[in-house]
Amino acid sequence: MYHTLLFLHVLSAFLMVSGVVIFSAFVLGSPVTRPLKLTAEILWGVGGVGTIVFGIWLALNRPEYGILDGWIIAAVALWVFANGAGAQVSRTIKPGDAESPAALDRRVKFSHWMRVLWVVLLLIDMVWKPGA
Amino acid sequence: MNLLALTRPDAWNLPLFVHILGAMVLVGALTLSAVALIAAWRSGSAPLTKLGFMSLFYGAIPGYVLMRGGAQWIAHKEGLDNDNVDLSWINIGFSVSDLGFVLLVVALVIGGIAVRRINRGQGGKPSVSARIATGLVSIFLIACLVAVWAMTTKPV
């Protein structure tokens, strides 16, 4: 059970980061087409739900972990921050034609890079597990 | 193995972080490349074809270097990098990594040719090289997901 949950949790994290990589391409000037935007949204959404659901399930499954451990609360907070920043970016970036890059203002770019920061901090928290 | 994972020495954390971060960037860049190239099949779009190959060059290659370097680093720390070690999950990881490197290099060479044709104004229609590269990238992407399964479930 532990290994299956860990696989699903880590797989979800990979999907989530894949979504972030595609959004990073948009922010760096790639064209925003409907299939690319849809793929990024699905990866970010499914990955995001999967990481939190399987992550909490893992914490409940292991006697060594408690749902109120500091590093788990920090992870949930970072997940919320990342999703908050991500929602703003998703709302603003609209699919256009395949020939030209999307015009994005600095606020959207800032929100995206903040999301990248939250996700990297989330990974650091998961690996180091401070206080565990 | 579970206990080992839960009580990992602090010295293993940095190489593990580098390994996972690299693997995530690699998978993300391969996904972007595959989606862009598949979309380019239908439209023959030059910007999407370029995006497919640029994501390999600027995303997948650095991700691969971090992933592979981190793997070697943590395998050394754990004493798993000698010839006496024969664990399925390690073998799967290194096999996917080695095979993936070949696929990545071939896809980049083929992609470079396609991008050069586009830059010379010979693009604008779906190219055979882009289709071959899509296949190679997709195979590597699926192999990466098998490696993620092996790394997390650790079959002996």
Q: Nearest 5°: phi and psi at A33?
A: -95, 165
- At B58, the pLDDT band (50, 70, 90 cuts) reads very high
Handedness of CA B81, B141, B151, B63 (dihedral sign): positive
**How many Å apart are CA B6 and CA B152, to the nearest integer?**
13
pLDDT digits (tens, 9 = 90+) for A74-119: 999 999 999 999 888 888 888 877 667 777 888 989 999 999 999 9
Q: Is the whole model's pTM more than 0.80, yes or no?
A: yes
Judged against a pLDDT cut of 90, whether residue A50 lies above it is answered with: yes
ipTM of the complex: 0.91
Question: What is the structure's pLDDT at A62?
Answer: 85
Strands (E), chain A: none
Cβ distance B6 to A36 less than 8 Å, yes or no, reads no
* DSSP 8-state class, residue B81: -
Range of the domain at B16: 2-153
Chain A hits for B47, Cβ within 8 Å: 30-31, 98-100
Please tell me the distance in Å from A57's CA to the nearest CA on chain B.
Answer: 16
User: Is the pLDDT higher at B43 or at A69?
Assistant: A69
Distance from the A130 Cα atom to the nearest Cα atom in chain B, whole angstroms: 10
Q: Which residue has the tokens 């908050």?
A: A84
User: Closest approach of chain A CAs to the CA of B156, in angstroms?
Assistant: 13
* Confidence band of A1 (pLDDT split at 50, 70, 90): confident
Set of chain A residues whose Cβ sits within 8 Å of the Cβ of B6: 62, 64
Asked if residue A47 lies in contact with residue A39, where contact means CB atoms within 8 angstroms, the answer is no
Q: What does DSSP assign to residue B83?
A: T
pLDDT one-digit tens code per residue, B77-88: 888 777 777 788
Residue B7 has pLDDT above 70, yes or no: no
Residue with tokens 């921050």: A81
